[in-house]
């Protein structure tokens, strides 16, 4: 049994006293709510006769002034100030409900239901004059009370990140700004769904437990299925399954789902994260760029009410069209060096000049990517498409229609970070097999990122896959951009944490 704090002991005693008084602290019957605070205030006019209304929520503040009190009720739809007068809720001789139940036994954090009519206080706040009051659920732990003064200054904020993430429920109760981040995130996700559903593309679900962790380069989480006696992996990507569905004949499929990567955690990486993947048949990556512009413009607007967001000190506009430039042009523009056509030796020289750390396992593609990451990425603040990547690092993209050594791939950068990644998908099964085999060679040389070969995926492709463009967008990063948060933990309800040590 855990040791209770003084305040917890007091609340448990209050719970017992309530029971003695015949009050069930956790009643089963429905308390019918007739109004949200907003509805009530909107329809209120002081002259008109009112019907009695009822509301329910959490008691967040009590200001007792003898025989009358003000209280603050936090409902799921907004706040309402309550005015509670002893003789109005206790019209008879017995004043227990006010003197003992309300003043002593009800605590901040308790859920109550109230009935009454509105009036305007001296200071002009529309307030519910309570005629009756009912306990709906007793709270046994004290909430951290955050106070905001007349200037809007926050006092005693509940701000310890460890406590906030471990006890997100408390964070959500006392920090309305935190709660609204997740409302925006939810709107964002539903706007994405609506965008695709409106176009006739189908939301699908593909396996999370996979026998081969294909479609991306990352260390997986491993698990075991007892009945099948088989090792399985939590997916690091779903790309190869979605392409199988395109082979199966759907014109467009998308999935919004969790991916799992057993790697480092930091401000932009959580071991499980939400990825949007879209595959549309008969399209190429140019078409996909236009679609991304439409998508992000619409989603930003629906989630936040504007295409303009502020992130990390930058004003970012998601209104399309976005700047497009090839990777080689971008490098030349921001570093002054034209790396196109350079061999590995020349690229290493460039890296050395720029003081970029490289190692011997890196080929030309990786070296170019390093230069890009160092010299270009930080400058890409407004949404920018970078196109036409080296073939070595992109085993699932189609070879460029005209440029030797490149693939038809783009990434979208915003605020100096990658947000989306897309290809004209490789649909030549012979080429695909050759690319996988190249990855195997890299793996043999010690490249841990090399992609595993998936024979069933190749079999599917051999039956014929239509020309297709595919796209992935990190939903957590998009949520960060749309809510102005620079830490991924602030857009995940329950970010991964080490287990609490038992006290």
Partner RNA sequence: GACUCGGUAGCUCAGCCGGUAGAGCAACGGCCUUUUAAGCCGUGGGUCCUGGGUUCGAAUCCCAGCCGGGUCACCA
Residues 59-78 that bind RNA (CB under 7 A): 61-68, 70
**CB nearer to RNA: pick between 161 and 305:** 161
**CB nearer to RNA: pick between 332 and 449:** 449
**CB nearer to RNA: pick between 7 and 96:** 7
CA separation for the pair 307, 298 (Å, rounded): 8
Residue written as token pair 């859920």: 111
In whole angstroms, the minimum distance from the beta carbon of 304 to RNA comes to 22
Other C-beta atoms closer than 10 Å to the C-beta of 226 total 6
**CB nearer to RNA: pick between 91 and 305:** 91
Q: What is the x/- site pattern for RNA, positions 461-490, by CB under 7 A? A: --------------------------x-x-
In whole angstroms, the minimum distance from the beta carbon of 30 to RNA comes to 28
Reference 385, options 338, 327, 337, 336; nearest CA is: 327
The verdict on 418 binding RNA (CB under 7 A) reads yes
Sheet holding 230-234, edge to edge: 209-210, 230-234, 222-225
Reference 327, options 410, 395, 400; nearest CA is: 410
In whole angstroms, the minimum distance from the beta carbon of 181 to RNA comes to 15
Out of 165, 221, 250, 286, name the contact with RNA by CB under 7 A. 165
Reference 465, options 287, 238, 282; nearest CA is: 282
In whole angstroms, the minimum distance from the beta carbon of 248 to RNA comes to 27
Using CB under 7 A, which of the segments 3-11, 27-35, 246-254, 454-462 binds RNA? 3-11
Contacts 24+ apart (CB under 8 A), 286-289: 287/469, 288/410, 288/422, 288/469, 288/470, 288/471, 289/322, 289/324, 289/385, 289/387, 289/410, 289/422
Alpha-helical (H) ranges within 340-428 are 344-353, 364-375
Out of 1, 29, 76, 123, name the contact with RNA by CB under 7 A. 123
The verdict on 364 binding RNA (CB under 7 A) reads no
> Which residues share a beta bridge with 280?
252, 469
Using CB under 7 A, which of the segments 40-48, 103-111, 176-184, 331-339 binds RNA? 103-111
Reference 457, options 242, 284, 251; nearest CA is: 242
Q: What is the x/- site pattern for RNA, positions 209-248, by CB under 7 A? A: -------xxx------------------------------
The DSSP annotation for 51-67 comes to --EEEEEEEEEEEEETT
Q: Helix (H, G, I), strand (E, B), or coil: what is residue 143?
A: coil
Using CB under 7 A, which of the segments 5-13, 282-290, 422-430, 454-462 binds RNA? 5-13
CA separation for the pair 241, 208 (Å, rounded): 10
In whole angstroms, the minimum distance from the beta carbon of 372 to RNA comes to 7
Structure tokens at 11: 């609340």
The verdict on 96 binding RNA (CB under 7 A) reads no
**CB nearer to RNA: pick between 5 and 24:** 5
430-449: contacts with RNA (CB under 7 A): 449
Out of 101, 127, 331, 347, name the contact with RNA by CB under 7 A. 127
The verdict on 148 binding RNA (CB under 7 A) reads yes
**CB nearer to RNA: pick between 161 and 207:** 161
CA separation for the pair 154, 454 (Å, rounded): 55
The verdict on 285 binding RNA (CB under 7 A) reads no
């Amino acid at each position: 049994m855990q040791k209770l704090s003084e305040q917890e002991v007091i609340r448990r005693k209050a719970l017992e006293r309530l029971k003695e008084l015949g009050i069930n602290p956790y009643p089963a019957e429905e308390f019918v709510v007739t109004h949200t605070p907003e509805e009530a205030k909107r329809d209120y006019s002081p002259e008109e006769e009112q019907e009695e209304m009822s509301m329910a929520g959490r008691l967040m503040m009590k200001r007792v002034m003898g025989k009358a009190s003000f209280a603050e009720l936090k409902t799921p739809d907004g706040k309402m100030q309550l005015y509670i007068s002893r003789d109005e809720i206790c019209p008879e001789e017995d004043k227990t409900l006010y003197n003992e139940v309300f003043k002593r036994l009800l605590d901040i954090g308790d859920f109550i239901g109230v009935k009454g009519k509105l009036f305007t206080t001296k200071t002009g706040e529309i307030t519910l004059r309570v005629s009756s009051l009912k306990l709906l659920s007793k709270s046994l732990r004290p909430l951290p009370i955050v106070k905001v003064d007349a200037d809007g200054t926050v006092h005693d904020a509940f701000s310890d990140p460890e406590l906030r993430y471990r006890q997100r429920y408390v964070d959500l109760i006392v920090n309305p700004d935190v709660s609204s981040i997740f409302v925006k995130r939810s709107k964002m996700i539903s706007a994405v769904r609506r965008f695709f559903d409106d176009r006739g593309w189908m939301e699908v679900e593909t396996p999370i437990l996979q026998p081969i962790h294909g479609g991306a380069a990352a260390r997986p989480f491993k698990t075991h299925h007892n009945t099948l006696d088989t090792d399985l992996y939590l997916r690091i990507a779903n790309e190869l399954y979605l392409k199988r569905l395109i082979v199966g004949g759907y014109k467009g499929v998308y999935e919004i789902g969790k991916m799992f990567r057993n790697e480092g955690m930091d401000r932009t990486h959580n071991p499980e994260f939400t990825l949007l993947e879209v595959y549309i048949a008969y399209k190429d990556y140019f078409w996909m760029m236009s679609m991304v512009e439409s998508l992000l413009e619409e989603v930003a607007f629906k989630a936040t009410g504007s295409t303009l967001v502020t992130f990390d000190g930058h004003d970012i506009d998601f209104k399309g069209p976005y700047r497009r430039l090839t990777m080689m042009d971008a490098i030349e523009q921001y570093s002054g060096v034209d790396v196109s056509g350079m061999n590995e030796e020349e690229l290493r020289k460039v890296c050395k000049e720029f003081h970029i750390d490289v190692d011997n396992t890196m080929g030309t593609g990786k070296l170019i990517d390093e230069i890009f990451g160092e010299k270009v990425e930080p400058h890409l603040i407004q949404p920018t498409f970078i196109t036409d990547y080296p073939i070595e690092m992109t085993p699932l993209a189609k070879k460029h229609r005209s440029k030797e050594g490149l693939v038809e791939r783009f990434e979208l950068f915003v605020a100096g970070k990658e947000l989306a990644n897309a290809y004209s998908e490789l649909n030549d099964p012979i080429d695909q097999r050759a690319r996988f085999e190249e990855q195997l060679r890299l793996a043999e040389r010690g490249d841990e990122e090399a992609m595993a070969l998936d024979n069933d995926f190749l079999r599917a492709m051999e039956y014929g896959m239509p020309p297709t463009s595919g796209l992935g967008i990190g939903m957590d990063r998009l949520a960060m951009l749309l809510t102005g948060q620079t830490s991924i933990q602030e857009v995940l309800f329950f970010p991964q944490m080490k287990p609490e040590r038992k006290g």
